Amino acid sequence: MGDASELSAALIDGKILSRSVTDALSSRVRFLAEHGVCPKLAVLLVGDDPASQTYVRSKERLCKKLGLASEVIRLSDDISKGALLAEIARLNADPLTHGILVQLPLPKHLDEREILFSISPDKDVDGFHPANVGLLASGAPRFVPCTPKGIMSMLDSIGCEIEGKRCVVVGRSNIVGKPIAQLLLARSATVTICHSRTRSLADFTREADILVVAVGRPRMITGDMVKPGSVVVDVGVNRVDGKLCGDVDFESASRVASWITPVPGGVGLMTVAMLMENTVESAERSAGIII
């Protein structure tokens, strides 16, 4: 990353922030336990993708640490659509399961959209179901998608003023790009979404007070594309020469920005913490307990 003395940007530390989120959740989990409720997250893992296995293990560990119940259903990569939908239907009907997550990516023979849309909106802790997407767009979300929710928490943690600011989101995915744009817009920011067809991308990114990058291309945003004094949120996780890096070139961007998220140790940790928070919220809602 370079000599820290060369860097001007302060780090938005996902390790510290995610710990504060989970610490706050512990008391809510204890309160639910006093009322006979144990939040439960069910994760369906299809196939043996190494990255997916790692992500699922991290979720299992955090569930255990917080006192949440977790069920990981490991399924072969040749499972039929009908069999997978049957597993989801079983979990939808289980009153003890509060959150359901299908670990992506899925094998190519499975329709990702059809599978995700089969999850009950009331247990869709990822916030991907069209009913939940619509509620988010209307300003009355049931579940906010975990990564965008984590990003907003990170911005709030540094006292970042959002109202009236110019925000640029690079990436238009349903998982990050679109929902973070909705959340920033709801906070009265002026939001531009850029993508692979955007011409003269740097002309947009240099105007951003808050720059969110989520495209999956290593170090594509360089320091000369960043507005001096801006806040840069790097959602990307890429492996280059055996090392993790983001979509932002950390060394050059951190000399220009005022705040920046690191990779690793940034948004990814907040994503998992927010998944736990959404699961606890689902359990509270199911039990009619409002904290």
Tens digits of residue pLDDT in 139-174: 999 999 999 999 999 999 999 999 999 999 999 999
Q: Are strands 10-11 and 259-260 parallel, antiparallel or unpaired?
A: parallel
AA letter at 64 = K
Catalytic residue (choose from 103, 122, 165, 182): 103
For the whole model, what pTM was predicted? Answer: 0.94
How does pLDDT run across 214-241, given as a tens digit for each residue? Answer: 999 999 999 999 999 999 999 999 999 9
Q: Domain extents for the chain?
A: 35-122, 145-268
CATH of 35-122, one of 1.10.1040.50, 3.40.1280.10, 3.40.50.10860, 3.40.50.2000: 3.40.50.10860
Residue with tokens 């945003």: 221
How does pLDDT run across 51-95, given as a tens digit for each residue? Answer: 899 889 999 999 999 999 999 999 999 999 999 999 999 999 999
Catalytic residue (choose from 59, 123, 165, 227): 59
Catalytic residue (choose from 122, 126, 234, 249): 126
How does pLDDT run across 3-38, given as a tens digit for each residue? Answer: 444 558 999 999 999 999 999 999 999 999 999 999
Class of the domain covering 145-268:
alpha beta
SS3 at position 97: coil
To the query of whether residue 103 is one of the catalytic residues in this protein, the response is yes
To the query of whether residue 249 is one of the catalytic residues in this protein, the response is no
Domains 35-122 and 145-268 are alike in CATH topology: yes
Triad 214, 216, 221: Cα angle to 5°: 70
To the query of whether residue 124 is one of the catalytic residues in this protein, the response is no
The pLDDT of residue 113 is: 95
